[in-house]
Amino acid sequence: MISVQSEELDFPKVEELMIPAEKVAHVQIGNPLDHALLVLLKSGYSAVPVLDAKFKFQGVISKSMILEETLGIEQFELNHLNDMTVEKVMDNSVPCLQREHSMIDALHKLIDHPFICVANDEGEFDGIITRRTILKQFSKYYHEIWKRA
């Protein structure tokens, strides 16, 4: 194991690593599930943030949540997708970060999630930070430590 003696690593803030809101696929809380599934399929993501009409972060919805909701006794009942809204299916108990949090704060929350949403004090959606981004940063720091050793 490598030890870093008498040197503090200066980890970046979330705002330096996050993908800004305008580049993130999302759905609105009142959208029908067929629209949410279409956004998920077209974007290629397994989950996306859910926002309200004022662009405040409300939760996350995933393909698996939608498919589980449409699972009938013998088959998928996809014809019900237009009758249900995102709000009925989404997960609103997901963690959230703020811009000033550190990369280490993000790391702890990303253990169980592929991305974490970033919101300001009023709950307005600012963007996401991904597990991939954090892993790349740690790889960078790891290699820098090896060069010094």
Band of residue 2 on the pLDDT scale cut at 50, 70, 90: very low
Helix segments in 1-149, DSSP class H: 14-17, 33-43, 63-70, 86-89, 103-110, 131-148
pLDDT higher than 90, residue 88: yes
Domains of the chain are: 14-148 (3.10.580.10)
67/89 Cα distance (integer angstroms): 10
pTM for the model stands at 0.85
Who's near 27: CB < 8 A, 6+ residues apart? 35, 36, 39, 48, 49, 50, 51, 61, 86
Q: By CB neighbour count within 10 A (0-12 exposed, 13-18 middle, 19+ buried), where does 140 fall?
A: exposed
- Phi/psi for 93 (5° steps) reads -110, 30
Q: What is the pLDDT of residues 11-22, one digit of tens each?
A: 899 999 999 999
Band of residue 8 on the pLDDT scale cut at 50, 70, 90: low
